[in-house]
Chains A and B, each alone.
Chain A
């Protein structure tokens, strides 16, 4: 659906984006993750045709943004980080304007208009001036504007920035729902957002892609072993000895003494081997009950930090 190849953007000496290549499949929600200033907005501005690239190609449904910008622009709904709103218009007039700007024919628009306003829940404010709306409603009007004309592709730049937690949850739900009928690229510097909404993540830093994968796969690939915390009732020396006998366990470390004869340990094991059952059996044999067992897989946040601070390559 969207093919981006060797995309590069230079501003004189500054390299905003370098050699970026990725594709987005039809119906996919792709997360675009990176710290502020990584080049997220620049990339989105290029895909939507707002600014031209220095080199490389962007194709949407097979149309090149440089050669056939009109065809591409027709297929994309773009919500920039700051929603492009005319404050002096009412919500309804603004959406009507957007529809005629996108050359949506009058009949189609008539049937679409109410659905869009229902979907983003702005029907009750449609006659109010945008100037008088709160940040949350403005964001929704911006989203509604991107939906006008039912484009196949939605590009959303930091759609939840500046919203309160309740609104963030609502917008995320909405994006997930939209993902059923649209191809979506969503940028964010907030990690839980991306892992909650997106099926695949592109992590970028300093204009370069550092990783592309599903959120789950990313955390799997990055750690070479699995880590657990485990709390066991029993003397630490004896328990440690027993655990060392379990196949697959690489290292055991006492983390905490919780009370007399009750310790928590950090256990590192080969990630190809599931050591949890053998651990249970081994300890049960000797009468040391497991009180707690928790996997310490890396959260996306840790991965993100690791990738963007060390620039460690994945894949």
Chain B
């Protein structure tokens, strides 16, 4: 598992993709930050952090699009599966590699509150911590969706589009639930990543939300191993 993690992290940085994604997201975030937070003299991060979710919808599918597709296309999947590792270890190794690149972006955004503090802004610490926790959890969930999407096809672009569409649907769950109402709204509520995000981001530390995100991640990673296993049963 760690061997796969290590290789994939290296692969991200052998190719320009990690640098492009990291610098691009940092650039966009910094623009938001400079013209939103700093220019507006807001001593809080939570508005910015909720914008990040929107940006992640585009970034994550690109981050994860090659993570499993490439192995199928180049035939290296044979090597992984015939090695003494379980399929779930392969998936987790890959997942953690994508998460690692995400964490680089994550850590880079720590500079923002530090600058605010240096400028003498007084931030509410629980709000700040809640916001960052939510940011991490939603990132983890989105990456699990992206990894899942990349298990469905051997074409990177198709994988990115599938991932993007699933994330878009997740964004639309709340408005749809509001529209339909009733029992259906409750069922749709199960898939509502964002309403829970808003709770956490406003400093409401609810343990069920944390468990929810972790379960969401686990379910998508489990589905990914099922997709790979299923294909092994049906291919030649």
Contact = CB atoms under 8 A, between A and B. Distances in A.
Given A73-B84, A101-B80, A89 B74 contact: no
Interface in A55-69: 69
Nearest to B1: A101
A239 interface: no
Contacts of A136: none
A84 B7 contact: no
Contacts of A52: 232-233
A78 B234 contact: no
A51 B233 contact: yes
Contacts, number: 76
Given A70-B84, A84-B77, A101 B3 contact: yes
B82 A76 contact: yes
Interface string B75-88: 11111111111100
A102 B74 contact: no
Given A84-B74, A84-B75, A97-B7, A50 B84 contact: no
A: contact size bracket: 20 to 34
A41 B78 CA distance: 12
Interface in A1-60: 11, 16, 41-42, 45, 48-52
A42 B74 contact: no
Nearest to A41: B236
B74 A74 contact: no
A69 B85 CA distance: 9
Interface in B2-38: 2-4, 6-7, 10-11, 14-15
Contacts of A100: 2-3, 6
Contacts of A80: 75, 78-79
B235 interface: yes
A88 B14 CA distance: 7
Interface in B160-201: none
Interface in A155-206: none
B: contact size bracket: 20 to 34
Nearest to A97: B7
A84 B76 contact: yes
A49 B81 contact: yes
Given A85-B76, A97-B3, A100-B6, A16 B82 contact: no
A94 to B, nearest CB: 9
B236 A16 contact: yes
Which of B3, B14, B78, B81 has the most chain A CB atoms inside 10 A of its CB? B78
Given A97-B3, A101-B3, A89 B232 contact: no
